[in-house]
Structure 1
């Protein structure tokens, strides 16, 4: 007779199942033989079979190991019950919870189900067959196919197309969705729904394609994978890197003392990360780079390869001229990086944060990217106040106390020299080899450990001066050559070997009284002296010539600013009449521009007259802080609008940042003062 056991308790049903399994007679089945790997014939196997599957992940390996545990247990049971009964018995034990904790954990990993350890007999039988056929690799879970992005709707595709561009209007996905909504003539409020669909579709777009579509140049290279250049095979004097950066602090100009940011150029050995030479100049130019290379070659020697960026100072003909450039004289191979990709010489770009930026932090005029903006505004206010005081002192003859936050030129040079020495001697670079005590070497230690004297080519003082003299190609004519609008003459220039031909003119940037003449093949011809036929009454040095050029450019920029400010005051011209000549007239059509006068009513009362006089006596304010400072110092000359303006200014963010500055000078705003209230 048969009975329905579904209504019985769970413990009773489990006991009945166990008794039924135990009552099954044991069949004399031979033990399951261990699978033997079959010899693989390379001719019958396609070449791409081994590369068809990617290497398994850690989770896939754990899953295969768990399945192997279950299969090994089933093989042990098959020796007594047979393969089918063994799979059924193991499945029943996992279902009823009678299996060991190790088997239950393996079942959860094998079936990749966290809630239950149940595995069907059919699944166990399939894993056993795969194991006998392919071994352990047959137990790996099947690869998941990559989700294919379905065809996008036209509106979503249009949003993504605009977002995949470098147009500033579509840098934000929500703005692109709004613009597409307007172009399609839909209700404006429906843009949020379109934005949500586009955002979900964007999550399935290839990230690399998105980066390439939205970024260019160095910004794109900073987001994509990169290759790291290995310097372990380099030796000292193999490769050096040259780069110049603006110093991140204001320094007093060596000539007139006005605060400015100088240019610092460094030369770093790639193998040891040692700063071998440096220079400081007013701007990036060939003089600064040449001086840094002269310092480095004089200290260390000549490098085989000089690597730099494409800056104005590094790629000039003074260095790279194939006839008489400085690199040709040194015998060094000059390589430049790709424009717009500073990652290529990141070795020196990253090092700025270790030495020169830390040197700039020592001064109160530091203006790096991480400076506190409130402190920076106070420093700039002090510098502007000093500039105005110096301008007033020019006419009055007074004495002005300079702010100590801006270092002098000599203090700046001493700090740079000390910073370079500290970096070379103390900084333990993580890319350098380790010492015996497992500490990283410093650049000086690495240079001493790896330096090979037999490979060093060092120049003496005279050779350095001759090698690093800049040169230009000029044509010798009638015994003279012209350089910087100045004539240099020598009798040897009339020789047949050089007269009427191009020669190399080498000059000293500090001594303009002579030049050295060489042939294009590098043979010395003569020394030509300044003749004075043209140019100034006295010879003008290259430094002075560069200063004049820089001053002219600065004046031109200021003139452009003044012209722009005057245009804002006067307004644009109004073309009111267009004069049309007769058809036979040869004149060109020219619009007659008629100026418009904006006459204001004249003051009539005594108070209005005094207000106009007070306004005329005021200086021109370059900023709102200057106006506030002047008003607080001339409280008796306030007009009717000044109180309202001051109250609005003290409520703003600029006053909040300069409040301590004004309090230290007794110019802070106080609502309780009667003079301010009476001025309303």
Structure 2
């Protein structure tokens, strides 16, 4: 069907919602129309002149309602579109301009002679080659023919003049055959076999069309040409799901220019693409990393680690973030089970913020956190031997998997898998590096060291906002402390409770001897754990090795050792006198220190570092954060009495009062203290 009435078009994409609106639009744009056949009268409009989005809607509607076995194939001929109904191409515009030149020349000549005489004179000069160079160059172009042997004729010039008077210069533009966008009768059956989630190829769908429908059939080339005319959205309908199809549609680019820090926090969980050792079981596992990012500054304000995206992981990340960066305004998350639950809503309400959920299958709306996953977590995972991402070499991944499982089975620490503490330390370093690295989503500033323009880092954006008057709202300490931490159920024993290979003591637990309690622990600070009843009532904070004391005072132990040593020496002296018949003197000789292999390796490394320090001149890093780290390293070496090159000593003393050093130190303190070493994560 190539013609549609106003009633059929009303309400379609790109069309007004009423029949009168369609007619008004058709009249204003000069659509090609014809009288309807049968009762009712009225007009119907050609398919070729309709907007592209309306054509796509008609094609899709016809594909859904197409009969399974068409008996004939009728391919309508393409309609020629008038120049006034479409945008002109460059070729049409050149031809139109050339014809306008001849019309204007006739108008100038007609001021002195009649128009007929002017036309005849122009034709004669064209045949004799007497036209001006300007007009002579435009004869072939104005004729719009493939051959260059054509010249001007009286009839052609009169037609151009007539079209110019009726339609203006656009009436001189040549007509072009529009692409045939009508839907062949076989298209419906083909699309039913082609638009499937299995994504069959054109050849496979065409073969099914030939086998399962009655002839006549199109050729494979006809099918390909017709598919090329469809828009990507119309062509891929049914082959892509709701999430993937969004990549073909228009999108809204969200900006953060009007946001202040802590206005919007975006959170999401990501299963780490490398394996680490589980601190509880000693087995290999992939931890779930929950990141929270501030939309305005792109700063990672907090994170949490867990076995999976869960409520506890979200609460832990919120508690850590609020204690470091202050209160938030909006908590923007997806509809995952770790976020869409009453527990998280209650905590957000207590903190005075609001929670917003993105639409299903719309991860693009939270692209700011999705990008951070790739920039930080995926990049970190690829630096580990235990990486098992989709782009990991299969053979190498299989080998690493076998070796690590063999070592775990034998009770050894796999060389391919980092411990939980090692992973935690490296994650902190990656997050710290990200927060101090220029970010493309932030404004540009002039670098003080190089003088070039570069993007701000997240921490620079945060400090810049503070300089403009932003001040983070501090969360009440009791509210932060009451937020839930990852909890485990454990049985008490005489005031002690065991968690993650650590023994914690609390005097109040003596009254709960033999009972089960809930222990809230934090892998960032293993010095103490919170102990709660099974009903959630807090008992107190248990201290790591809180009841551990030396078996005896050190002085008493040493006194016993000295006495035992003297007695043994006395007995040896008496025995030697009996054997030799003479007095024997026993002396202690300090043996030559024998180093173990590990000690020798460490001594070799230290000697190598010393040689490198002697042979390598002292160089300053270009990055201000790296200079801050170098200064702290030198400061620690000087405090411990190590040998430091003279140039390094001079720079250390000179850089002590530099404003950059103080600024970076303040920023690092604002970003949190270094992680506490975790003794139970072996």
TM-score, with normalisation over the residues of structure 2? 0.54
Distance 2:224 2:127 in 1: 44
Change (3 A) 1:240 1:377: same
Q: 1:152 aligns with which of 185, 189, 196?
A: 185
Name the SS of the counterpart of 1:338 in structure 2: coil
Question: Aligned ranges for residues 615-654 of structure 1 at < 5 Å?
Answer: none
Q: Which residue of 1 aligns with 2:208?
A: 179
Aligned twin of 2:537: none
1:326 and 1:470 in contact (8 A); partners too: no
Query: Matched residues in 1 for 2:319 and 2:388: separation?
Result: 30
Range that drifts further, 242-251 or 135-144: 135-144
Hey, what does 1:402 align to over in structure 2? 414
Return the offset for 1:285: 1.0
Distance 1:60 1:541, change over 3 A: farther
How far does residue 312 in structure 1 lie from its aligned partner after superposition? Answer: 1.8
CA, structure 1 residues 151+389, in 2 after alignment: closer, same or farther (shift >3 Å)? closer
Q: Give me the CA root mean square deviation.
A: 4.3
Alignment map for 1:60-209 (pairs within 5 Å): 60-90=92-122, 99=131, 102-103=134-135, 106-107=138-139, 110-113=142-145, 115-116=147-148, 118=151, 120-132=153-165, 135-142=168-175, 145=178, 147-149=180-182, 151-153=184-186, 157-166=188-197, 168=198, 171-184=200-213, 195-209=220-234
For 1:424, the equivalent position in structure 2 comes to 435
Worse-superposed segment, 82-91 or 210-219: 82-91
Q: CA deviation at 1:341?
A: 2.3
Deviations 1:39-95 (A, max 9, x none): xxxxxxx88766554555555555544444444444444444543444454456556
Which residue among 378, 395, 402 is the counterpart of 1:357?
Answer: 378
Instruction: Please give the residue correspondences for 1:205-244 in structure 2 after superposition, counting only pairs within 5 Å.
Output: 205-244=230-269
Asked whether 1:413 is paired with 2:431, we answer no
Contact 1:265 1:288 in 2 (8 A): yes
The equivalent residue for 2:360 is: 339
Q: 1:541 to 1:211 in 2, by over 3 A?
A: same
CA contact (8 A) 2:101 2:135 kept: yes
CA distance in 1, matches of 2:303, 2:124: 80
What is the CA distance between 1:204 and its match in structure 2?
4.2
Distance 2:402 2:326 in 1: 45
* 1:377 matched to 2:395: yes
Provide the C-alpha distance between the structure 2 equivalents of 1:110 and 1:185, rounded to a whole number of angstroms: 49
CA distance in 2, matches of 1:286, 1:250: 22
Which residue pairs with 1:297 in the alignment?
322
1:541 and 2:552 matched: no
- What secondary structure, in the 3-state scheme, does the structure 1 residue paired with 2:361 have? coil
Paired residue total: 431
Contact 2:274 2:388 in 1 (8 A): yes
1:485 and 1:257 map into 2 onto residues whose CA distance is: 19
CA distance in 1, matches of 2:223, 2:375: 44
- CA offset digits 1:567-590 (Å, max 9, x no partner): xxxxxxxxxxxxxxxxxxxxxxxx
Name the TM-score, length of structure 1 as normaliser: 0.54
Between the aligned partners of 1:329 and 1:242, the Cα distance in structure 2 is 18
Q: Deviations over 1:341-398 (max 9, x none)?
A: 2122122212322222222222222233333x2xx4224323323323442x36xxxx
Distance 1:416 1:184 in 2: 60
Change (3 A) 1:470 1:383: closer
Using a 3 Å threshold, how does the CA distance of structure 1 residues 174 and 278 change in structure 2: closer, same or farther? Answer: same
Match among 455, 459, 462 for residue 444 of structure 1? 459
Please give the alpha-carbon distance, in whole angstroms, between the structure 1 residues aligned to 2:88 and 2:510: 79
Q: In the alignment, is the contact (CA less than 8 A) between 2:438 and 2:454 conserved in 1?
A: no
- Mapped contact 2:490–2:516 kept (Cα < 8 A): no
Preserved contact between residue 403 and residue 414 of structure 2 (Cα < 8 Å): no
What's the offset of the Cα at 1:134? 5.1
**Deviations 1:552-604, CA, capped at 9 Å, x for gaps:** xxxxxxxxxxxxxxxxxxxxxxxxxxxxxxxxxxxxxxxxxxxxxxxxxxxxx
Quote the Cα distance in structure 2 between the aligned partners of 1:79 and 1:342.
70
Q: Which runs of 5+ in 2 are unaligned?
A: 1-23, 31-84, 447-451, 492-499, 523-682
Distance change in 2, residues 1:307/1:80 (3 Å): same
Q: 1:262 to 1:470 in 2, by over 3 A?
A: closer
The separation in 2 between residues aligned to 1:90 and 1:235, in whole angstroms, is: 72
Task: Provide the rounded CA distance (Å) in 2 between the counterparts of 1:114 and 1:185.
Answer: 42
Alignment partner of 1:388 is 2:406: yes
Are the equivalent residues in 1 in contact too, given 2:408–2:414 (CA < 8 A)?
no
Q: Go from structure 1 to structure 2 and tell me whether the alpha carbon gap of 1:242 and 1:124 turns closer, same or farther (over 3 Å shift).
A: farther
Q: For 1:418 and 1:282, locate their aligned partners in 2 and report how far apart those are by CA, in whole Å.
A: 21
Distance of 1:212 and 1:185 partners within structure 2: 25
Determine helix, strand or coil for the equivalent of 1:439. Answer: strand
After superposition, give the CA deviation of every residue in 1:418-449 in whole Å (9 maximum; x if it has no partner): 222222222331x3223255433332233333
Name which of structure 1's ranges 432-441 and 275-284 shifts more when overlaid on structure 2.
432-441
1:134–1:285: structure 2 CA closer, same or farther, 3 Å change rule? same
SS in 2 for 1:220: helix
Contact residue 318 and residue 470 of structure 1 kept, 8 A: no
- Match of 1:212, SS state, is coil
Cα deviations across residues 402-428 of structure 1 (Å, max 9, x unaligned)?
32x322222222222222222222233
Structure 1: segments with no counterpart, 5+ residues: 1-45, 395-399, 472-482, 487-508, 514-527, 545-680
Q: What's 1:505 paired with?
A: none
Q: Hey, what does 2:340 align to over in structure 1?
A: 315
Match of 2:290, SS state, is strand
Cα offset, 1:470, TM superposition = 7.7
Question: Compared with structure 1, are the counterparts of its residues 299 and 123 closer, same or farther at alpha carbon in structure 2 (3 Å cutoff)?
Answer: farther
Q: How far apart, CA to CA, are the structure 1 residues paired with 2:315 and 2:278?
A: 21
Structure 1 residues 361 and 389 mapped into 2: Cα distance closer, same or farther (>3 Å)? closer
Check if 1:284 corresponds to 2:324: no
Counterparts of 1:422-501 in structure 2, within 5 Å, are: 422-429=433-440, 431-436=441-446, 438-451=453-466, 453=469, 456-466=472-482, 468-469=483-484
CA offset at residue 334 of structure 1? Answer: 0.7
Q: Distance in 1 between matches of 2:305 and 2:376?
A: 15
Cα displacement string for residues 461-510 of structure 1 (whole angstroms, at most 9, x for unaligned residues): 433223x3389xxxxxxxxxxx9899xxxxxxxxxxxxxxxxxxxxxx9x
Q: What's the CA shift for 1:329?
A: 0.8
Counterpart-to-counterpart distance in 2, 1:287 and 1:247: 17
* Whole-angstrom CA distance in 1 between matches of 2:375 and 2:260: 23
Q: Distance in 2 between matches of 1:530 and 1:331?
A: 38
CA contact (8 A) 2:333 2:339 kept: yes
Assess, with a 3 A threshold, how the Cα gap between structure 1 residues 389 and 293 changes in structure 2: closer, same or farther. closer
Kept after mapping to 2: 8 A contact 1:78/1:86: yes
The higher relative CO (CA closer than 8 Å, separation ≥ 6) is in 2
